[in-house]
Structure 1
Amino acid sequence: MYKKTLALAVVLAVAPASALADTVFGVYAGGQFWDADSEGEYAFASNVIEPNFENESQSSYYIALEHPVPFIPNIKVRENSLEVTSDYGKNDFSHRDYIFYYEIFDNDLVSFDVGVNAMDFDGSLWVLGSDTIGRQDFSVVVPTAYVAARVGIPATDWTFFADASALSAKDSKVQDAQIGIEYRLVDNLAVDVSLNAGYRHSVIELDDVDDIYSDVTFKGPFVGVEVHF
């Protein structure tokens, strides 16, 4: 995967500037409420824990900057709150995404972005060790490939969209994908406002990160809003 990511970077570096740059500066900000079902297990040292996760609503919000400067990637920063209560206490798989991407294709109906996403985990788990229950913190940055696509329905205010970040290396796998539909509620020269809904699926399999091993999944429907200045 790391070789594939490097190859992608080389391709982007030699791609035509007109294909990589946005035509105007744009700031996007949005948020999402996610009715996520949680399942899986995790381990600390030699103790495998299969907690009874409680399904809870999660949240995500982001800000993105797109610009016309050639070869410089657009950037999106997204906060993902993934806190879930188990038999032992509150477990935290929250992370921040640093997404650097290029617009390979972009018009009024179809757009396609590619790039990389540095998923910065800074979480904690309630674990069982030596017959005692305690909290174990973990921190890791996972680099992933990133793709996103949008397809508008002609002569309407509706757009289908999807994006995904994924990495599989050795015994670790991290992926976060969503698909949905968007409705442009406000569309003028000053500001655009869109409502969206869809389905999101996230898998976090970490192998020996600060003595933590995890295999957890979050999945379910979401609703959100986006503002474009």
Structure 2
Amino acid sequence: MKKLNLSLAALAVAGAFAMPAQAAVLLGAKVGADAWYADAKINDVRADDANIQGSYYAAFEHFIPLVPNAKVRYTGVESKKFDTDFTQYDFIAYYEILDNDLISFDIGLNLQKFEGRFQSRNFDEWQPNVYSDVRLGIPATPVSLFGSFSFGSYDETSTVDGEAGILFTLGLVAADLNFKAGYRVQDYDFNYFGANQGKFMNDGFFGGVEFNF
């Protein structure tokens, strides 16, 4: 709980410093979809049954100071070998600390919801996380580097979800079309199933598209 309280305090400070960046944006939105070729490892045993898993997200940004922006992401996870099939929903409230052509940096809180089946056992749980997202533009090119990271530890459950990669932007009339490629890792220790029974890792390369309005 102390970790969560510190995270909330950090977010409040970030919100105060984010006011200029927020005010620079009137209204904006992002929608995207990723195809992720991932392979799971459960309780330190690798599944070796990699398959394509989908992830979809939408974000809304506005000009109102102190009120965070919002992002929702869906990720489907499956491992037939371990009889594991669950969905992860990320409900993210974040502030823009920086936003220009060279660097953008967001920070906020992510409330994750897990529901489905883990090694034949049904579960439906929530988990709080700290969230960050950064994009670094390469000058005089349409290419950027990006990374996003969510991590949290609460009630003996810990979750880390991170991705990093490269992004190519194609400017359209009403929006930017971004092509993405990168690597994503989910590293979770679910306490819901007892000690050393809920270790889960899922990692692999992904590719995707994003519309930035």
TM-score (norm 1): 0.84
Residue 195 of structure 1: how far off its partner (Å): 0.4
Residue 26 of structure 1: how far off its partner (Å): 0.9
Partners of 2:110 and 2:130 within 8 A in 1: yes
Amino acid at match of 1:175: V
Amino acid at match of 1:23: V
Q: Secondary structure at the match of 2:198?
A: strand
For structure 2, the residue ranges without an aligned partner over 5 or more in a row are: none
Given the superposition, is the C-alpha separation of residues 122 and 174 from structure 1 closer, same or farther in structure 2, using an over 3 Å criterion? same
Partners in 1 of 2:34 and 2:18 — Cα distance?
34
Residue 146 of structure 1: how far off its partner (Å): 0.4
Partners in 2 of 1:208 and 1:120 — Cα distance?
13
One of 123, 130, 154 as aligned partner of 1:138: 123
Amino acid at match of 1:94: T
Partners in 1 of 2:162 and 2:121 — Cα distance?
27
Alignment of 1:77-96 (within 5 A): 77-86=72-81, 89=83, 91-96=84-89
Given the superposition, is the C-alpha separation of residues 51 and 176 from structure 1 closer, same or farther in structure 2, using an over 3 Å criterion? closer
- The residue aligned with 1:45 is none
| 1:65 maps onto 2:60 in alignment | yes
Q: Secondary structure at the match of 1:101?
A: strand
> Over the residues paired in the alignment, what is the CA RMSD in angstroms?
2.2
- The residue aligned with 1:195 is 179
One of 21, 37, 40 as aligned partner of 1:38: 40
Amino acid at match of 1:163: S
Partners of 1:138 and 1:209 within 8 A in 2: no
Partners in 1 of 2:144 and 2:112 — Cα distance?
27
- The residue aligned with 2:143 is 158
One of 8, 11, 14 as aligned partner of 1:9: 11
Given the superposition, is the C-alpha separation of residues 22 and 119 from structure 1 closer, same or farther in structure 2, using an over 3 Å criterion? farther
Residue 7 of structure 1: how far off its partner (Å): 1.3
Residue 6 of structure 1: how far off its partner (Å): 1.9
Given the superposition, is the C-alpha separation of residues 209 and 117 from structure 1 closer, same or farther in structure 2, using an over 3 Å criterion? farther
Residue 84 of structure 1: how far off its partner (Å): 1.3
Partners in 2 of 1:21 and 1:176 — Cα distance?
29
- The residue aligned with 1:206 is 190
Q: Secondary structure at the match of 1:93?
A: strand
Residue 213 of structure 1: how far off its partner (Å): 4.0
Given the superposition, is the C-alpha separation of residues 100 and 39 from structure 1 closer, same or farther in structure 2, using an over 3 Å criterion? same
Residue by residue over 1:119-139, the C-alpha shift from the partner in whole angstroms, topping out at 9 and shown as x without a partner, is 11112134xxxxxxxx42111
Partners in 1 of 2:212 and 2:124 — Cα distance?
33
Residue 190 of structure 1: how far off its partner (Å): 0.8
Residue 210 of structure 1: how far off its partner (Å): 9.2
Q: Secondary structure at the match of 1:72?
A: coil
Residue by residue over 1:113-168, the C-alpha shift from the partner in whole angstroms, topping out at 9 and shown as x without a partner, is 00000111112134xxxxxxxx4211111010001111001111000000100012
TM-score (norm 2): 0.90
Q: Secondary structure at the match of 1:70?
A: coil
Percent of aligned positions that are identical: 34
Partners in 2 of 1:52 and 1:221 — Cα distance?
16
Structure 1 stretch 211-220 or stretch 145-154: which is displaced more? 211-220
Q: Secondary structure at the match of 1:9?
A: helix
Partners of 2:19 and 2:66 within 8 A in 1: yes
